[in-house]
Amino acid sequence: MLHKAIIFSLGLLTLTGCNAQKKTKTSTETSATANTKDTKAMKKEGNTLYFTEGENRFLKEYEMNVTFKAISEDSRCPEGVNCVWAGVAVADVEVMGTATRPVTLHLATTENAGRNYFQSAEFNGYTISLTEVSPFPNAQGGTKALAGKYKIGITIKKTGEKPTMR
């Protein structure tokens, strides 16, 4: 009798666990559907693609997945402050082709090879260029207040074509 009770209890726990997995899977599918709707309404102005921090998108026309990971450095001069140097923002953008491993590109708002800042990088026959980083830091909050709120604009061109700057 004790064996039957133990087996029954284990069976009941197993079924409860399966039900919990179904609920998780359904909520995951719902959020995936919401992300698909966001992708359809992605912002693309002219040749510039805009990404919010943490956003991941598959770009069918370039056959690559692009993820704006974060801003790893933002030393730009805050609005309303006089600075000696304009500063730089560096965006970490992860790209992955349909047949390649992911690669993280560090794209900067200024070109300065001596400091290892590059506005463009090549990947899979395309040149990916950073054209815009917003919002700009302000004197009160600095860059710490902007964490998670950044938005970037990138252009993707066949390697050999000149990227257009705004």
What would the DSSP string read from start to end of 86-137?
A: ---EEEEEEEEETTS--EEEEEESS-BGGGTB-SEEEETTEEEEEEEEESPP
pTM of the prediction? Answer: 0.65
User: Which of 69, 68, 117 is CA-nearest to residue 90?
Assistant: 117
Which domains, ranges and CATH numbers included, belong to the chain?
44-158 (2.60.98)
pLDDT for 46 equals 58
Q: What is the pLDDT of residue 39?
A: 38
Residue 108 has pLDDT above 90, yes or no: yes
- Encoded amino acid at 85, one letter: W
Count, residues in the chain: 166
Q: Is 36 helix (H, G, I), strand (E, B) or coil?
A: helix
Is 102 in contact with 94 (CB distance < 8 Å)?
yes
Say if residue 82's pLDDT is above 70: yes
Whole-number Å distance between alpha carbons of 53 and 67? 8
